[in-house]
Structure 1
Amino acid sequence: MTQTNTPKPGPRPDRSPSISSDSVAHLSPSDAPDLSPSDAAGAAPTGDISLVTVSDAQDRTSAGSLSAVSGAVQHGPATAAMPVVTAGPGTVSLPEADEAGEAGGAGVAAVETEGVGAEPAGADSAGAVDASAAAGPTPGGEPPAEEATDLPGRREKPEGPEPASALTADRLLTRTAAAPVSGWRRWLYQATLGYVNVGDSDQVRIQRAMEHRIAMRLGERTRYVPVLSRKGGVGKTTVTTLLGMVLAELREDRVIAMDANPDRGTLSDRSPGRADFTARQLVKDRFTVDSFAQLSNYTARDGSRLDVLASDTDPMVAHAFDDADYRAVTDILGRYYSIVLTDSGTGMVHSVMKGTLEKADAVVLVSGGSVDEARLASETLSWLEAHGRQDLVAKATVVINMAAGDRTLVNIDEIEQHFLSRVKNVVRIPHDRHLAEGSRIRLGQLKPATRAAAVELAALVVDELQQD
């Protein structure tokens, strides 16, 4: 036990009032005796500090009374502004008196609690009174040091060496905006040596978005898209070729266009390239074709990624191509191609049309810009609904081919509004001199508006195929 200013041996002077441990435990600040400076000087000489010990009163002093003593001393009016110093485990030190002997009217300098409810040596330090907890938060309002180290959102660096997968392109490369493709934006970019890049126009961005839609994957199953028309000469074969060439150019998988016209078809005349064999010969050799290399001998591809399976040029042989032959050919094509376009004939009641519609995932209906062509196209939709193919009508895409130009008196806007009341998608292909030639189609020779319409048509068809 540590004592400060140990008094001389001899009898302790009698002091009134007498303060015991029990009385201190129940003493409030208001009950403290009002001592004048002279009384305080007479009761305790200058430099003499009184000491109250409770080691000899363990049998009648509890831990609750010690708490009351600590609370009374710490929260008293005389010691509220003075710091509290921790002297060690199990010990509560009170403010020491200054040289004048004043301690806020209290003569008690320290209360030692050794032996009273104290924990044995080596116990957890939680039993001691923490000065930082008693003092409360710091004046600046900052959290304690141990709490400040655990900040939300802080990410620690992983220990040890990084794996090779951490060296990604997003981490190592500095991304720069792509240069504009054309127009004054491209000229400005080149004139400033790349320092001024205003980006592409909205039209170019929309075009890129459509190309991205066309390139979307369709899954493992082959999709079949027939191109229909009730009237010849409206550009059904032209639309089939345009659609197939755009799909083949912008997609990574294989696309083929098949001529399934029971009569003399012209799909091979509009598509680049020639083939040594036709669809009819593929039907005869269907049991021997077991690879894509063998199948490529029956298709044509020249200057385009689109494969074309032509029909026979002899009308007498072409009539032999029926529903069973169509199913046999499409079964072979379904092994190696993702999208199969079918250039159908004009006869809706022909046997080939039965297999064509049963395998169809979406249809493209071609209409001209005249009155009778638009009426026949609308009647085709009615025929599909009458034969229980409302699903194809809901996913149908109507193409208005303006092969005759805009010089007619027909209101094309009214035709478009009519089809929009029956189907969801309507595309208008403008007049193009390259298409009007009736020869092989090359995408590079099309007008920008014609190519944009073909890209829009391909994007709409792919959107419908993704819904399956």
Structure 2
Amino acid sequence: MTAKNNADPEDSPLGVLDDAASVDTAGIGILGGTAQVRVTLPAEEDDDLADDGVVDGEVGIDLIVDDVTLPAAPKPVLDAPRLDEVIDAVVVEEPVVADSVPEEPVPAAEPAADLVAEEEEAAARFLAKAGADRAEVPAAKPARAPQAPVQKETTMPEADDKPVASAPARPAPRTDVALTAKRLGELGESARESADLLTSDRLLDPHRVAKPEPEGGWSHLLYTLSGRRLNIGDGRRARERKELTARIAAPLAGGARFVPVLSRKGGVGKTTVTALLGMALADAREDRVIAVDANPDRGTLADRVQRAQHGKSVRDLVRIRDDVRGFHDISAIVARDATRLDVLASDADPRVAEAFSDDDYRDVADVAAHYYSLVLTDTGTGIVHSVMSATLDLADQIVIVSGLSVDEARLASETLTWLESNGYAQQARDAIVVLNQSTPGTPLVRLGELQAHFASRARSVVRVPYDPQIAAGGTIVFANLLPETRKAARELAALLVEGLRAKAA
């Protein structure tokens, strides 16, 4: 509220401005409540105030004080403070911009009692001496103790300096963290790991894992002479052998795979290649492998392996096909050699008038598919006999055997042509051709030309060298074969598995 010069000092219940005193000794009295005071000073009098606060002989002072109730002001005393000292106790606030959002006022702290009394006394002295003007002041009280210099923005006092007079303090929030175990189903998909990821390569420190005993002449000799302290690893041949074993042992997804071994001419080593391929597969793989002698005219596959003396054949399996309840029923009919290769012999009874037929082979194939991963078939001489149709219909990979002579090589090439002309073109292109040397010495044909010819028509070509044990025509013991023969048989097995895996991909 604005004080006027012509008002009667006695009419105001809150305070008066006395014109008897000079400006230098003037004071402002605040008697409670929130007020804005405007003081008009005489223009002709000189003062020590700076020119910043004087506009056309008037000094405007806006007071904004928090609403705090103070006790009644005491009677004025004579010694009044200077006006600039009183102004220092006033908190001047910048005008509020119209667009700004008003903030909710924060309750101010209760000033100390002695400071309140001192300020009230100074205000009373100022009103007693500055009687020329009268100011109507609503109840107001300063929010804080006098500070120097003048502050443009009110700041709250620290909590530990003065207590807050508003709402009671809230308790601090709890910071305890509850730890709970999560089930596997509650984890995100990106954080889930399966058990197969816990491999030895991941979990074991390679520097603390003992290396296996090295294989190879010089590697093993150095390992032995050093008291098993110096292990330089396997030799070159041992590494190649283990890599070849890993290729053969690669897993095959899905059901049983059927691999017939064909030839259009007898005596080229078709039965021998079937036995070697089966032994190489069974020796390196963990699943079951069986070789079926499907020769309708008395095959000799069972004679090439260590056969049990039970006299069972494919005819017996056909007879009990509906009564088979488990693998023990199959194991009573098949023969197994040292490599774990199972062999199902052909019918050797000369009194049987009916030959092994296409339907018989399908019945055997149905039973074998339930218990074996790989089923090799020795098809007999020719490709037009009674079993050939079912054999080719079930074939996943074909192996063609050729001897190292001109006529044998020509018949093997004509076998590929027959397959291409009778609806088995893809099987012919994916076939593996085996060049089997059944006689000692250097062959008369040029092996390079022969291999180049079959490489242009089939997927792979493998050469099986001459071996005296095979040439003798007796039982084949895989461990007693020449290293070159075993390596050729294992290479044939690796190519077969890679071909089957490529088709499944």
**Shorter-normalised TM-score: what interval?**
0.5 to 0.7
- Give the structure 1 partner of residue 446 of structure 2: 411
Whether contact under 8 Å (2:91, 2:152) holds in the other structure is no
Superposition map of 1:25-424 within 5 A = 56-60=91-95, 112=151, 114-115=153-154, 171=203, 174-274=208-308, 275-315=310-350, 317=352, 320-424=355-459
**2 CA distance for matches of 1:309 and 1:299?**
5
Question: Identity rate of aligned residues, in percent?
Answer: 48
**2 CA distance for matches of 1:460 and 1:112?**
92
- Give the structure 2 partner of residue 130 of structure 1: none
1:443 partner letter:
F
**Per-residue CA shift, 1:380-410, capped at 9, x if unaligned?**
0110000011121122111111222342321
TM-score for the superposition, normalised by structure 1: 0.66
Whether contact under 8 Å (1:312, 1:318) holds in the other structure is no
Give the direction of change, closer, same or farther, for the CA distance of 1:330–1:114 in structure 2 (3 Å limit): same
**Per-residue CA shift, 1:311-336, capped at 9, x if unaligned?**
12235637521111111111111121
2:255 partner letter:
R
- Structure 1 counterpart SS, 2:339: coil
How far apart are 1:197 and its partner, in Å? 2.3
Whether contact under 8 Å (1:262, 1:318) holds in the other structure is no
**2 CA distance for matches of 1:172 and 1:459?**
30
Structure 2: runs of 5 or more not aligned: 1-23, 27-46, 55-84, 99-147, 161-178, 185-194
Give the direction of change, closer, same or farther, for the CA distance of 1:55–1:454 in structure 2 (3 Å limit): farther
**Per-residue CA shift, 1:151-193, capped at 9, x if unaligned?**
xxxxxxx999xx9x99986546632333321221111122222
- Structure 2 counterpart SS, 1:317: coil
Whether contact under 8 Å (2:282, 2:289) holds in the other structure is yes
Give the direction of change, closer, same or farther, for the CA distance of 1:394–1:17 in structure 2 (3 Å limit): farther
**1 CA distance for matches of 2:150 and 2:305?**
106
Give the direction of change, closer, same or farther, for the CA distance of 1:59–1:175 in structure 2 (3 Å limit): same
Give the direction of change, closer, same or farther, for the CA distance of 1:304–1:59 in structure 2 (3 Å limit): closer
Whether contact under 8 Å (2:216, 2:238) holds in the other structure is no
- Structure 2 counterpart SS, 1:287: helix
Whether contact under 8 Å (2:313, 2:333) holds in the other structure is yes
- Structure 1 counterpart SS, 2:335: coil
Give the direction of change, closer, same or farther, for the CA distance of 1:168–1:437 in structure 2 (3 Å limit): closer
Whether contact under 8 Å (2:288, 2:374) holds in the other structure is yes
- Structure 1 counterpart SS, 2:322: coil
2:251 partner letter:
R
- Structure 2 counterpart SS, 1:178: coil
**2 CA distance for matches of 1:255 and 1:207?**
21
Higher alpha-carbon Rg: 2
**1 CA distance for matches of 2:417 and 2:343?**
30
How far apart are 1:465 and its partner, in Å? 1.7
Whether contact under 8 Å (2:91, 2:151) holds in the other structure is no
**1 CA distance for matches of 2:276 and 2:410?**
24
Whether contact under 8 Å (1:322, 1:351) holds in the other structure is yes
**1 CA distance for matches of 2:335 and 2:423?**
36
**Per-residue CA shift, 1:334-375, capped at 9, x if unaligned?**
121111110011221112100000011111111111111111
Give the direction of change, closer, same or farther, for the CA distance of 1:192–1:113 in structure 2 (3 Å limit): farther
- Give the structure 1 partner of residue 127 of structure 2: none
**Per-residue CA shift, 1:50-70, capped at 9, x if unaligned?**
9x979633144879xxxxxxx
1:249 partner letter:
D
- Give the structure 1 partner of residue 498 of structure 2: 463
Whether contact under 8 Å (1:263, 1:319) holds in the other structure is no
Give the direction of change, closer, same or farther, for the CA distance of 1:55–1:167 in structure 2 (3 Å limit): farther
How far apart are 1:423 and its partner, in Å? 1.2
**2 CA distance for matches of 1:57 and 1:374?**
114
Give the direction of change, closer, same or farther, for the CA distance of 1:62–1:414 in structure 2 (3 Å limit): same
**1 CA distance for matches of 2:180 and 2:150?**
50
Give the direction of change, closer, same or farther, for the CA distance of 1:380–1:111 in structure 2 (3 Å limit): farther
**2 CA distance for matches of 1:286 and 1:200?**
48
Moved more, 310-319 or 233-242: 310-319
Whether contact under 8 Å (1:299, 1:309) holds in the other structure is yes
**1 CA distance for matches of 2:50 and 2:449?**
116
Which runs of 4 or more aligned residues in structure 1 lie more than 6 Å from their structure 2 counterparts after TM superposition? 118-122, 165-168
How far apart are 1:430 and its partner, in Å? 1.3
**2 CA distance for matches of 1:375 and 1:339?**
29
